Structures are given as C-alpha cells and as structure tokens.
Structure 1
C-alpha cells in the first residue's frame, strides 16, 4: 500500500516548491506475540510470551510492556533489569532514541540482542493499521506520542488474551492515553508494584527538573528582536555580553551596564543556548530569587550526560543569601559572536554513525554536533569547527568541520590551537607590509642628526630579561654640578618607521600587541624593526624618543623635557648582570655608577608611590628553561625578582605618568591614556572573608587602606601567607584598559593599582600599538611631527582603544595557555612532591598553590553524595573548610602534594595534584620518596637539570650574540 503526501515549501530564493513524499505501508508485519493466529508467524520462536507470569501486583494478569520515548531516554536502567520482560520497542521510539542519544541507542541494541529479555522491535510506522498521518500544526513530539498510543491500542485489540501496558512518564501522553481508555502507567508506579524487586526503586530516574510544556523541546523560544528592543527600552530586559564559566558548564554571567555586579545565570534552561561572548537580553528575577555562584566544578561529559537532570534552576541552598547577586535568565540573543573553534572529535559510539560530537578546547564553549564521514580519520586530531545554528530542540549547537590542525599533543598543533582560540593574528607579514620597511644597509643621515638631539655621548644602557632581542627602553643617570641628577628614559622611536595610514601601520594596529609565548614570539611588527633597527642594542646607534628629568636626591622632579634623539647604548644588560654591577663596589665605570644612581632613586620613588597608596600585589609566575634543540621544557621554577627589576619598573612608570600629563595638557579631548577602575566592594568579599578567618581585618575603602592592611597581615609561622593574600587581592582587581580622554569624565581617569591620577603607555612601542599612538601625540606636542585627521578624532581613537584592549586581553590569555601547555610537557614524564598552600576551598574541591613552581591546581574531593567513595569530605561554607578523617583543610593551610599530568583525556591534559600530607586514610597517596638518600638524589638531579638548562641558555645567547648571564663571566667582562 502506497500513501502520497504533498506539501509546499519555499526555498532560499523565495520560490515555492511542490514536494511529494511517498510512504509505503504493509499488512504482513508480524506483531511478535507467541501463538498469534492473525499474523504470519515466522518459523523461529516468538520473542513475546503470551502467558508469562506477571511480576506486578498492579497488573496481575500476563501482559506486554510498550515504553514510550520518554521512558527509553530516562529509565533505561529499569528496562535493563532481568525482572522486566516482554517489551515491545517501536521503530518510532528507536529512531528518536538514536537521534537524541547515540550511547543510549547502543545500549538498546545490546538489550534487543539479549534472548532472555523477550524484546521485540515492531516497525509501527510501516504497518497499515498503526500508521497515522501528521496533522497540520502538530508538533513532532505530539505526533510521535500519537503514533505510540496508536500502536499500543492496536496491540490491545490485536493480541487477544494478553494486555499491552503503555509505560510513560510524560504527563500529557499519560493523560491522553487514559482519556482513550488505553491501559497505561507511570514507570515509578509499575516499579513500586513489584514487591519482589525493591532494588529497582533506587534506579528510578528523577524527572522533576524536566522542561515544562513540550517534552521534545529543550529550551524556551528566543524572543524576536523587536520584542527584545522594546523590552530593553522599557527596562523589562537588560542587555550585555555573556560569559560562561570554564569549570561549570551550567553557569554563566552577563555583564550589564548600570549594575555593580554581573547577572548570574544558572541552569541550562536559563542559559537558553547562550554561547561565550554572545550579546544577549536577560530578564532579572525578583530579588528573593537572586542567587550566589555555585561552588561546584562540573564538567560536561557529552554523550553520557542525562539532559533531564541538568536543565535545573538555581539550587535552593543558593537562594536568598546575603551575598546573593542579580540573577536571571536569557530571553533572547541580540548578536551571535560565533567563530571558528578548535578542539577534537568525540566519535559516536555507534560505528556506522556519521553524527559525532566536537569537544572544544575552550571549556567555556559548548560541545557541537557535526556530521562527517571522516570520523575515524579525525580521531586523535586537533580540528577546527564552525557553529551554524542552535535549534531549541537540540541539546547542543549544530556545526560543520572546517580543517585539520594535526595530531593531538604535538607542539605545532597545540600552539596553533592556542593562537586560533585566542584570536592571535600570526600569519606571515604581507608583501605590502614588507615593502614599507627601510632598505639595508640602513644609515643615519645628516638630516636625521639635524632634526634630533644627539645623545650619543651619554652613557646609556638597557636592562632586560635574558635573551631579549626587542629592546625598546634604555636608561641613564648622571650627577649634575648642582647636586641634582639628570635621569633619562630613552624609548625606541618606532613611529619614525611606521607612518600613519601605511600598510605596516594598519597591520600593527590590527595585531595590537606582540604576543610572548614560552617558546616563540608573535611580533607586532616585522623582525627587521623589532629585533634590529628599532631595538636599542648595545654599541649601535639608534633613534629614540627621550624623556629627561632633573631630579633632586630625594627624587623630586625639578623639570622635564621630551625630544627625539639619537643614542648609542653602552651595554645591553640582563637584570642579573645589572645587579652584579650595582653590588660589586670594585666596578666604577660610568655604566655601573649610572646604575647605582638609578637604583637609589628608584627606591625613593617606590617608597613614595607605596605611601601614596599604590598596591604591591603578587601573582604566581613561573619560568621555563627550554632545550635549545628540541624546544621542550627541561626545568621550571618560580620567577625570581631582583632590585634591578624594580629599578627599571619605577622609571618606566615615571615616564608614562610624565608623558600622560604632557599629552593631556595639549589634547584634553583626544589623548590616549590607560585607566584602572577601582573594584566594587563586592569584588573584595572573598579576600576580606579569608583574612577575617585568619584574624586579620582588611580595609578595602581605598587603595592606600588596602595596601596598609595587607602590610599588617603577616603570620610568622607562615612566611608565604602574605604573598597568598596579595595573590587573592590581585584576583579582585578590575581590568586596566586604554581609553580616549574625550569619551569619559575626568574622575574616571585614575589608575587604582598605581595610585596615579593619570597614566598612559609610552615605553614599549615595539610591542604595543597604544604606545605608537602616544608617541605620535607627544611628537606633535614637542613640534617634531605633524598631526593628521584620525589622530584628533576621539571616536576613532576610542575605537582603536577598544580593539587594542581586546588584543591585549587575548594576548594575556594566550600567554597563560602557553605556560599551561609547557607545564604539562614538563610534568608529562615526571612526578614531583612539593610543599603547597590551600588557596581556595570549594564545595567539592580545594585549590592549592605550589610556591616553588608558581603553579595552582585543584584537588577534587569526594562528597557525601558519592556513597561508593572510600572517604567522605564534609564542606562547611561558613569557614569555608573541608573535613574528613579527623583532618580539616582551610584556606592558607600548608600541605604536601604530588604533581603529575593526567593523560587519559587527550583533549585537555591537565596537571593532577594529589594530597600526601596531611594524611587522610583512604584519600591521600603515599610519598614516593622512600628514604633520605632517594630524596637527596632527586634534589641532585633537579640541580643537574637546572645547570644543564642554564648551560644550554648560555650557548644559545652566545650564538645569538647576546650577553652572558653567569656571575664569573660577567665580572671578567666588566674588568
């Protein structure tokens, strides 16, 4: 029997197409019931037993079970029990299960192949008596339910002498079945009516958090743009950028202008398909429904997730707390910010399937469903995928495969992922850009000398990290006859080579900043400028923009002057070499005396700056020693700062402040400055609470009050305590940003962290485009260059600021990711045991900081909900603390941990931290250091590795013409 169905459909061009579909129906399909006289029974034994004894007191007579899609999706554990037999599986149900959950469908196929289960697959959609046509306006879910009820009714009429019971947990389907006098029951009711199998009650899935209304729809409908605009205008809705949490995929925030705190979004239903960086509209809940962020770390495990249990709303325990923040739900998306995403393909557990899940490398991005026949080829590869759409009836967005980046774990593939994920431009410079570069050999002309102040006679030197080739700042200091000092900061004159509107200027503006990874550098400008013509290398004549002060011995500024200059650096020193010159009293050359003068003045400047309220914060930073041949990390340690680090920093800060004052005076409406907003009081709550629990009261009313409070928060028994407090304080800060002075009021210009009323960036034009703009402004102020239209356009300048703020932020993230990648490479074949401190206590984890490496990682803890755990931890949110086995873990507690890399998850290999001490039976691991001799050997090996690394670094610098770093060689060179 053949049925035709005709309907009209519009294509993308608006043309109406007539489509005819054919559906074949049969009357020879067997029902599967034993001894059925109306069906043409196959020769083999029937799967459905007519007289099987009942195990249910509610249905004492022999019966067949016909589960609907809802039961298959949520109660498969019940159906898999040996107590459940005589099950009819409809094709309608199987197709939906295959579409909604491939792993579940695979379990179903295993269930169907079991001979003792007595399961039978009935092709209901092709039987002439069980097929029904879909009516106009009927949802797919309602149509599916109607097909299922029709099949159940037919079985009751067809299989005489045996009842067919419809099992459903869908309220609407159950209501309609009873209205049609169809035998039906909830799964829970059926299980509870089985007195001989009480264990099944524990396996019942809870469906209380399901989506209201249409069970086939996962998410609410997004409101149209017109409704959203009207709602935003009336204040019903708020708009802002969505940020997903990277450690809990069921939570995110929306930054809304005008609110002190971001709007908290909890539960997949309320997130409503928002993706990281989307501009969304949110509806705020009433204040009594405001919540606090969850303390749980939750990972989306994809195929294995039970979708019905993750739609939920804010947990009751989070509601109504004193620290509750604005909470709401996403009602619509104003602008999608989808892009290409890097990650890996997680293959469908059904081998012949072509639908797979893409798992993003970025934990803030949801999984993506893709369709590809190359699944096996892409397994174990880094790939790029684009999101195309996200229907409301799909758990995940839909997308397509773009390209293959290489094998997971290879440095080339991982670095490519790192750069693409953080939107770092890293292609080769174009021919147009390269055409803007000066030709070699480059020489200083008499005209250049006439237009600049000649400072080649001044004893200038640079002080930078080891191996630095893009040297953009140098210093000098000399005593004047008056007893005062002349101090100069000389910055590479990059703006001389990069003229406005040229191809190289546009490229530098687009890149925004140089990105420093552990093993490579992504330059903002070509190498000819960054490492050669603009780099203030020792012994070579270079163009500079100089800021020169006359200062008193108390570092008070008498006057300041700015001019373009020509310098010849006497030495390109490392921080260590400069420190040796300062400390070695026998060295009395001009450069050594200049450095001592700079160092003494810098101490005065720093003391005064801190007295004025500047914050002295901290962050865990590590330094890698890289093998010169393989470029793999061979040692890692926390960065050590010297006095010379602070010396250079103080004069760079002073130059930036002086330049900011000068360009603002001349260009009050279009100067490019940098500001650091004061954090709102709520930002400091975790810090204040942590300090209070240790007996210290922090005053966060101002930066000066905070700095003074931090200075007093010292514990003699824990020398690292104050550092941890400062690390926590750093995380309370707002982001510092570039801005144009004509776009905000003067009272917002301040730099909170530096306690400076005005600040800019002038000292690194080789690696920051903002500094190039500032150089151009200063050149106009000093009469050494002419202005141009875009420079005086405040809207254009603010647009540039917004772009370089974004590039700067992405560069920071990529640099952190590079540290993470090399940390994993270093610990991949190593297991280390180190001293650490508890930095944060969560509901299901503790975060531990290891000072030796500057590393922070999380130890996941089993909670009371995990009955199979060997030890149970109890979380106290008032302290906060975690307790188990007579041991309590609180913030700032000292611990011994074991560090290694977990390699089972090839997508996101992570540093694994395990607790050694304090000992908690059933949870802590044993130390691998069995005796003092072994520990001594391990320390000796560490020292050998470090020495080898330093030797490799010295060889690398010698081959590159760089400076030596060993003390003995530095002394020999000085003599």
Structure 2
C-alpha cells in the first residue's frame, strides 16, 4: 500500500557506439515509493522502467522489426518488452531443409491491412482507444469486425486497471488464431517501453489526457514508421476530446458507429447491432441530440457526483448498500445496512432511481414521517403496465408513457396505504447515486409486442425493441436491431450500455443469438451464461500441463522416483469409497481398522490433485478462475480437465492413486481423538460403493469380510461423532433436494421426479469429511496464521428470525429460541406436527433461509473470534476433501503440504491481499454454481411436469380451466404447503417437486397480517367444490402459513416475452381458477 510517491527519475544511458539498431535498453525510469508492511514497518521501494528501441511494430511490411523478432526467444503469449520472450502465439517453428537449425516464421499484422472500407479506402491498420475497448468489447470480439487491430500498451494498462474481465477478454481475442495458428486479430504494441513512443506526463496534465496523448503518439509513430509502405493508420475513438485533437494533428480518426456504418454493407448490417449506444457517436456533443435531451423531462433524479456520495457516506448522511429488488413486487427494493435492524425500503421507480440487482448504491433516508412498511401485495409488471409501452426512445413523454406512470403511481398509492394491523414502518429512502454497477451480459427474449410492423417487413433499418431479461429482477432493456423479426423466437445475449435519467428503461445492445427458445441446448447455454459459469473448452496451454503419458500414466515403482519422498504406502489397507450413483470424480475414500491398544485407526484419503496442478501454471490459473465444478442435471462443467478429474486423480477401485491422507487414532467408546497426523500417500482402493450399496452391505449381518466390517466400524464412530456435534450445538437443517430420473442413460428426457433419500451411509461419509476439514483447518492455521484458507459461517442476526418466530407462535403455538445455535437446534427438534410429518422439514427449510451464507476467507483478514462455523458449531473450518471440484481445497492441500514438510509455498500465498482476492472469486463462483444447479433442476422439473401434462391431456384430466382465448390447460395435482401470504396471492412449496410457486388472485382477498392468513372468498366454481362447514364465514375460506393445500401445476410460455414458466393454481381447499 503506497503512502507516498516521489516524482519519477529518468536516467539516460545513451550508447555512444550506436549503430543502425539499438536492441538494448536506452533509458531507465525510476519511481520510488514508501510502503507500509503488514507489521507496520515502512519500506522504501524503487521500481525501474526500461525504455528501449527494439520494440517491433508488428507489421509484415517492416523488415527491421521482422529482424528484431527473429532474434527473440520462444515463449508464451505476446511479446513483452521487459524480457522479450512472450511471442509464441505469433511464431511457428519449421525445420529447414538446408539446415538442422530451426527458423521462425512470424505471424504479424497483414500486408494487405484492412480493406473494403467505404470511407477509409486505402489499406489501413486500426488503433484502438481505451474507451472503445471498454465500451465496444462485444463488437471487437466479433470475428466479422476483422483483423489488423493495434492495441497500445497504454490502452492495455488502462483497461486492466478499470475492468479486469474486459482486460481478460481483450487478451483472449487479440491473440486469436485459426485452426492452423495463422490467423491473428491484432497486435499489442508496447509503446510505454519504446524510447520514441513513451510520453511523460506534463505539469498540470491529467492522467487521462496524458494517456490519450500517448495513444495519439502511437498513431503518429506508426504513420511515420510505415509511411513508405503506403499503409494508413486510423484511430478508433469515441472520446470527443481525443477525436478533435487527433484531427488537429492530422491523424485519421473515426467513431465506432461511423466506422462500422462504412464497412462492407453485409458486415455493417449485422455489426451495427453490436455497437454500444454509449459510444456509438458523440450524442452528448451533438447539437440536435442535445436539444432533444433538453426537450425530454427527466424521469429520474440525476445522480450526485461520486465525491459528494463518498463524503455523504463518511459523514453518515448517506448509506451505502447493495440493491436488491423485491421478488414479489417490481416497484419495491431495499438495501441492508448495519445501522438499521430492518432493510431500508425503496418504493417506486423514482426512489430506486435506475438501480439494478446487485448494484452498490448510496441511499438518502426520507423524513421519518414518510417511512413505510413493505407491502403485502404481489405486484407483477405485466399486470400493471401491460403491453402498451413503446420501445422507441423518442416516445418519452408520450401519452402511453404518461399512462404507464399513472398506473404505477396508483398501484403504489394503493399498496402502500394497506399496512397490516400491528405492522410498523421501517426506514425508507431513495437512491441518490451508484457507487459500483453490477451490469453483466443478460440472457433475454425479444418482447414480441414491442416489434413494430415495419420491422417485420424490412430488415434494412434498425428498430427499437424491448429485450426481456430471463431474470425477473432486471428491468427490460431497450435495444436497436435490424434482426427483430429473426430474433423473435430466439434467446439472445444483451449488454446494458447506459441508463439516462430521461429514459424509463436502460439502453443496451444485442451481443449474439443463443438459439431457439425451449431447445435444450439453448436453455443449457442460457443457464450457464445467466449465472456467469465459464464453460469454454480447455485450451492447448492448459492441456499441455497434463502428464505427457495421458491416461497411460501410472504411479512409478516405489523407491524409483522422487514422487515417493515423504509419501506413505497405504496400498494394502482396506480402503473404499462411498459416493452417489454415477460418480466419476471420486475425491475421497476411507478405511478403519482396530489397533493393538484397542483404539480405532481411521483414515480419510483425498485425491492428491496438487501433485498434478502446479502453482502458477496455465491449468492452475484456469482452475482458480473457474473456482468449482458446476453440476447440472445432465452434465458437469469441470474445474479441471477430465483426464485428471475422472481418471488420474479419481480414486477408482483397484487402481493405484496418489492421495493426501488424514489418519486419526480414535477411542471406540466415544470417538474421541487420541492422535492425528497428515501425510501424502499412495492408495489402492478396494471397492467403490454407492450410498445404497454401502447401506445394504452394512445392514447384511451375514457379511463378515474386512470391507463390510470396516463400514460398520466407520458407521458406529460416525454416529458418535454426529451426536457430539449436535450436543455442541450443530444444526440439522434442510433444503429441498430432488432426484430426476431420465428415460435412459443416453437420453436427457426426464420421466419422473422424486425426493432424494438420505441413508446412514450418507451421514457416515459426511461426518468423516467434516472431521478431516476441521483437523486440517487447525493445522494450516497453526502454520499460516495470516494466510490460511478457511471457511466460516457467521451467526445470523436475530432479526432474521423474527417473522418465522412470530409465524410459528401464532400459527402453531411453537417457540423458536435463537439465542444460540444449540438453542435453535433444540427448538427445531420440537417443531413437530404429529398429523403432518413433513412439517418439521418445512420449518427447517424456512430456518435455513434465515441464515447467512457460508464463505471462504483468509485467516489474516478477519478477527479470530469470527472464524467459527455457526451451522457446524465448530470454532474453525476449511475445505480439504474435494480438490477435484473445488479450488479452495487445492490451496488448502498446498498449505498443508508446506506445513508438514519442507515444501515451500508459492510466494503469492504469503500475501494476505492475494488470498483475499482469490477468496472473493471463490465465493462468487460457489454462489453462481449453486444457483446454476438449482436452475438446471427447475428446468428439468418443468420438462417432467410438461410431459405429465401431455399424458393427462390424452387421458383423464383432473381439472382444466380456460384463460381468455387459450385452450384448456391440464394440471398436475400435488400437495403443497403455504409459506407466505399476500393480499392477492399465496406462495407455496411443493416438496414432491422441490418447487416454490406463486398463486396469484385477480382480486385482493381478506388479509389478516396478524394471523398470516387470508380469507379467500368463494367464487361460483368454488361454491360447488369447497367443503361445507368450513370454519369461519360460509362465504370465506381461511388459508394461512403452514396450511396444507393442493395445487394444480402446469407449464406455459408467455406469448409476448417468450418466457417459460411453471404456473400454479389452488385446487383445494378452494378452487382459485376464477378468483
């Protein structure tokens, strides 16, 4: 952390005996810093920047630069100026027929340059500006945009500092080659390290102005350097000031939109859809556009300047938090802040002020007399707004838009007045600025109702349409496209470019089409993109890290290889694995045997992935980026190449494999640990069981073999370990888990859904994995107190349980004590309804939702008293047992090896800041993987329900209804439990399918917020189907939280938005089809 910076010192070292070319360093720039270390000491650091004259231009025309490149060593990636060894992607090695020496053929910027342009008719190279890369990355990535792009080092550095994801995308496409390795998108020119292109910052000159000047200097240098070859250089910039100064310097410059518009007609038509609106032209500087903006009235309030936001947050006048929309009411959102027990409410579009799910925002509180309560209504945008909105931005202020505003205003007035009896107001505010945007590419559908008739008749001009995001927490996005009619039945990827105060909706651009709606391939890719799951194939550099022997690799003979150093031989032990059916990536195996002293030796053996995944290799970098393996219903997105995950590292039976083992000596009577040790090992598993097969083997008393006895012994100890954990306050929570049956092993068509069954053997494996993780956590923290990779689960705020406590007390007369994890565990055990066996599971699911998520962290980044894992009632915890599928475990393996041997840790693992950075990514990837997994299950459950619908449609249908002009719909009937009540609907949980659904009524019903129930008035159909003698008024049926109901489930697709969804209606105790 730099606390002071001295002015740079430039030392010129001119070569007095210079000849035509200077390939050595010509100058050095030194920067001195004072840095405070973690221990509080101040260090003086000096960083040197060498300037040289041998940085090649990259053009095939230039023989001088070709000669420089011919002297460069082969390395990986693009040429780096400091060592000149990173150019392998630009070269191929050929064997000369005249000599055994190898000569290099360099793939550079082409001699033909960019041609066929209707404005810049001469062949030319294109120099990219920083703002173009940051805003137009989707366009630049498109191969149809062409090659011969020059990226100055100045741009590369700026992009890296401003957006690491875009920086990685830039590096990826700029090095892109075809299957022969001969096609190159562009060239990185290291201008900051070349003596005659490096520019120094002038006094009073801003960093941005200095960088723009450096980019223009690159254009000037290329123009002079290649002038004799008659090839032009064009600067691509969307910055008005940079454009004007380039023009003054006689540099050819173009905006992105102008350049694309004048490309070859066929390319331009499609590429214009990719041009981001924020940089497509100089809208803010165009007098016509400026006049239009003046005419428009702002729908939203302008954001406060960033400096004002930061000072307001520091002074306590403003409050920073992450914006989260209400999933049941699109006109309401909130942020959480430590200063308040309840979330700060944001009611109405104006108060949410262009915030999107996940944005970090600054909120100003309203006066206390204006505070309100969260509404008890389900408010769906389509029901309020309908299809009356015009996507054309020029329609702002039109009668349609005014009508929409009035509808939303009436809805807010209606719902905000109806606070339930006994409800109290909570902090209420408005967003006054965005600290950090959480925008990403969104999977969308084109709203059919927004496509103008003219778009169906001609594709020559762009039309404004609405793109409806798959995520209902994101507002619709206005895009312009020439492909509206073609894209109407497809899922597409859309990026947001900007959201101006005068626009009700954000503006964005089309990125690419994903495929036909409801096609399985399209839905799978959409799911991965929506949850930001990396699914690209492993590249050559990564695969080159695998053992050369491939699947023929075997453990070498003992004493014949250094691999056996510090590694024990456990090949004769009765080791077995127990996993779910079909498991191929077997991470763990176990053994148990009696010792002479009467104690039990138990071993947990984990795949030694860190032997194959070496630090800082391409495979390690990729695994760190992916973070985890993602499990979908019908496929797996691996963190590591399958050669490792399902073969060389997988602990298959009767195959010698490398392992990392934890060995305990336990007392048989109570499973107390007498001793524990850790060692690298070689094992040979004797069997691989499913949970069911292991359970059968354990229960069959006639089986007396060593493996069966070992399983029984492990199970006995596991029961004691679990009891000990529970006595210490560990929680036995629940989550909806189901199993989907496919029609065959080759098919991805689901035929049935059932709840997963948990057996004793599930618990057996879980207990010893938990014990291993805890034991390893203690060991690595002992050795690395500042950088140990750990996992914690913070205690939830007691306010998180307030609603659940109140519901249990009023609906069931049960008390939930949340004073400690032990009290909570005891209370949950008492939440039983003898008439409803599933009630306890339902309460545990609802309690789980009150918890905070567990997270990875570095031990030096938080206070030791916050290390604990609340759910497991353990003072310390980590992940060690699944390195094939979790990168955190790989790091823990490295730390454990360093702790028990002399093996050094990678230098980066001694840095707290590095560990923190890695942990942030792992937490993000873990969360995304969980969401993707759940979404995959929901998708296949919907397919299974649809198949059942079709079966019922062709036979006897239990219930049908008509909705407008649509044909009758067949329902799949299922038992459900009410988990939330609204004035106009119910949220229910269907355990059979693991589904949570919303039943929405057309009209408000009688609502009792105190009792968490609604009184549903009987309709004409209900009168004949509901039971007589219902408690209460004969015309009203009371339904509350925890009540068991029967629902009809169907699938449908919205004809306008193309969104598929599972729909539910109430069948019993009352038919809601006409409500």
Q: TM above 0.5, one fold? A: yes
CA distance in 2, matches of 1:456, 1:141: 76
- Residues 725, 873 of structure 2: 8 Å contact kept: yes
**In the alignment, which of 373, 378, 396 is matched to residue 292 of structure 1?**
373
- CA drift at 1:719: 1.3
Alignment check: 8 A CA contact 2:662 2:676 kept: yes
Q: Aligned pair 1:897/2:978, yes or no?
A: no
Match of 1:391 among 500, 506, 514: 500
Matches of 2:701 and 2:891, distance apart in 1: 42
1:625 alignment partner in structure 2: 741
Q: Distance in 1 between matches of 2:784 and 2:565?
A: 27
* 1:341 corresponding residue in structure 2: 442
Relative to structure 1, is the Cα distance of residues 895 and 539 closer, same or farther in structure 2, using a 3 angstrom cutoff?
Answer: same
Q: 1:733 aligns with which of 836, 851, 856?
A: 851
Residue of structure 2 in register with 1:120 after alignment = none
Cα distance, 1:839 vs. partner?
Answer: 2.1
The Cα shift of 1:611 comes to: 1.1
**1:352 equivalent in structure 2:** 454
- Whether 2:641 is the aligned partner of 1:526: answer yes
SS in 2 for 1:617: coil
Cα distance in 1 for partners of 2:840, 2:993 equals: 18
Structure 1 contact 291–321 (Cα < 8 Å) conserved: no
Q: Is the 8 A contact 2:695 2:759 kept in 1?
A: yes
SS of 1:601's equivalent in the other structure is helix
Report Cα offsets for 1:549-579 as digits up to 9, x if no partner: 0001111110100000000111111000000
Where 2:330 maps in the other structure, the secondary structure is coil
Q: 2:899 aligns with which of 781, 789, 795?
A: 781
Separation (CA, whole Å) in 1 of partners of 2:591 and 2:239: 75
Q: Which of 481, 490, 494 is equivalent to 2:605?
A: 490
What is the CA distance between 1:863 and its match in structure 2?
2.5
Which one of 685, 695, 716 corresponds to residue 600 of structure 1? 716
Q: Distance in 1 between matches of 2:420 and 2:976?
A: 34
2:564, 2:696 → 1: CA distance?
35
Q: Is the 8 A contact 2:359 2:438 kept in 1?
A: yes
Q: Is the 8 A contact 1:619 1:730 kept in 2?
A: yes
Q: Secondary structure at the match of 2:501?
A: coil
Give 3-state SS (helix, strand or coil) of 1:602's partner. Answer: helix
Q: Which moved more, 1:500-509 or 1:332-341?
A: 332-341
SS in structure 2 at match of 1:310: helix
Distance 1:318 1:402 in 2: 44
Is 2:979 aligned against 1:839?
yes
Q: Structure 2: how far apart are the matches of 1:264 and 1:736?
A: 26
**Residues 359-382 of structure 1: per-residue CA shift (max 9 Å, x gap):** 000111111111112111111101
Are the counterparts in 2 of residues 824 and 909 from structure 1 also a CA contact under 8 Å? no
Alpha-carbon distance in 1 for matches of 2:584, 2:781:
32
1:852 deviates by 2.4
Write out aligned runs for 1:390-789 (5 A): 390-440=499-549, 441-445=552-556, 446-447=560-561, 448-553=563-668, 554-627=670-743, 628-693=745-810, 694-783=812-901, 785-789=903-907
- Structure 2: how far apart are the matches of 1:259 and 1:774? 37
What residue in structure 2 maps to residue 907 of structure 1?
A: 1058
Deviates further, 219-228 or 489-498 = 219-228
SS across alignment from 1:13: helix
Aligned: 1:237 with 2:318:
yes
- C-alpha offsets along residues 843-901 of structure 1, whole Å, 9 cap, x if unaligned? 3221222232332222112333xxxxxxxx21211111111233111111122222221
The answer to whether residue 223 in structure 2 is matched with residue 223 in structure 1 is no
Mapped partners of 1:844, 1:244: distance in 2: 19
Query: Is the CA contact 1:282–1:329 (under 8 Å) kept in the aligned structure 2?
Result: yes
Closer/same/farther in 2, CA of residues 889 and 608 from structure 1, 3 Å limit = same
SS in 1 for 2:693: helix
Structure 2 residue aligned with 1:794: 912
Q: 1:176 maps to what in 2?
A: none
Match of 1:62 in 2: none
Shift of the 221–456 alpha-carbon distance from structure 1 to 2, 3 Å rule, reads same
State the secondary structure of the residue aligned to 1:786.
coil
Equivalences for 1:869-880 in 2 at 5 Å?
A: 873-880=1005-1012
In the alignment, which residue of structure 2 is the partner of 1:966? Answer: none
Distance in 2 of aligned mates of 1:536 and 1:736: 28
Q: Deviations over 1:713-754 (max 9, x none)?
A: 211111111111111101000010000111111111111111
Equivalent-residue separation in structure 2 for 1:742 and 1:709 (angstroms): 35
- Counterpart CA distance in 2 for 1:224 and 1:636 is 53
* 1:309 to 2:407 alignment: yes
- Does the aligned pair in 2 maintain the 1:288–1:320 contact within 8 Å? no
- State the match for 2:349 in structure 1: 268
SS in 1 for 2:904: coil
Aligned residue in 2 for 1:963: none
Residues in 2 aligned to 1:533 and 1:784: alpha-carbon distance in whole angstroms: 26
Rounded Cα–Cα distance in structure 2 between residues aligned with 1:138 and 1:853: 55
* CA positional deviation for 1:278: 1.8
Distance 1:139 1:289, change over 3 A: farther
In the alignment, the residues of structure 2 paired with residue 519 and residue 464 of structure 1 have an alpha-carbon distance, to the nearest angstrom, of 17
Alignment-derived partner of residue 244 in structure 2: 15
Provide Cα deviations, 1:207-260, integer angstroms capped at 9, x if missing partner: xxxxxxxx8321111111222222222222122322223332222222446555
Q: Is the 8 A contact 2:351 2:431 kept in 1?
A: yes
Seen in structure 2, the aligned counterparts of structure 1 residues 597 and 286 have a Cα distance that, compared at 3 Å, is farther
Alignment size in residue pairs = 722
Does the 8 A contact of 1:361 with 1:907 survive in 2? no
**SS of residue matched to 2:661:** strand
Please list the CA deviations of residues 166-194 of structure 1 after superposition, one character each: whole Å capped at 9, or x if unmatched.
xxxxxxxxxxxxxxxxxxxxxxxxxxxxx
State the SS of the aligned residue for 2:242: coil
Residue 326 of structure 1 deviates from its aligned partner by: 3.1
- Residue 321 and residue 430 in structure 1: after superposition, are their counterparts in 2 closer, same or farther (change >3 A)? farther
The answer as to whether partners of 2:420 and 2:1010 remain within 8 angstroms in 1 is no
Summarize the Cα distance change of 1:586–1:320 in structure 2 as closer, same or farther, 3 Å threshold.
closer
Displacement of 1:686 = 2.0
SS at match of 1:338: coil
Mean alpha-carbon deviation: is it higher for 231-240 or for 485-494? Answer: 231-240
Determine if contact 1:491/1:764 at 8 Å carries over to the other structure: yes
Relative to 1, partners in 2 of residues 1:412 and 1:286: Cα closer, same or farther, differing over 3 Å? same
1:13/1:319 CA distance change after superposition, 3 Å: farther
How far is 1:409 from its partner?
Answer: 0.3
1:382 is aligned to 2:491: yes
CA distance in 2, matches of 1:416, 1:328: 38
Structure 1 segments, 4+ long, off by >6 Å, are 135-139
| TM-score where L is the length of structure 1 | 0.71
Give the distance between the partners of 1:854 and 1:385, measured in 2 at CA: 31
How far, CA to CA, are the matches of 1:724 and 1:737 in structure 2? 25
Unpaired stretches in structure 2, ≥5 consecutive residues: 1-237, 248-286, 390-403, 456-462, 950-971, 1019-1035
* CA distance in structure 2 between the partners assigned to 1:585 and 1:363 by the alignment: 55
Counterpart selection for 1:371 from 480, 500, 503: 480
Asked if 1:811 is matched to 2:929, the reply is: yes
Other structure's SS at 1:229 match: helix
Compute the displacement of 1:546 (Å): 0.4
Segment of structure 1 superposing worse, 628-637 or 314-323: 314-323
Give 3-state SS (helix, strand or coil) of 2:546's partner.
Answer: coil
Please give the alpha-carbon distance, in whole angstroms, between the structure 1 residues aligned to 2:311 and 2:371. Answer: 24
Alignment partner of 1:742: what SS? coil
SS where residue 895 of structure 1 aligns? strand
Deviation at 1:756, TM superposition (A): 0.7
Structure 2: distance between partners of 1:862 and 1:450: 73
Rg comparison, structure with higher value: 1
Provide the residue aligned with 1:103 in structure 2.
none
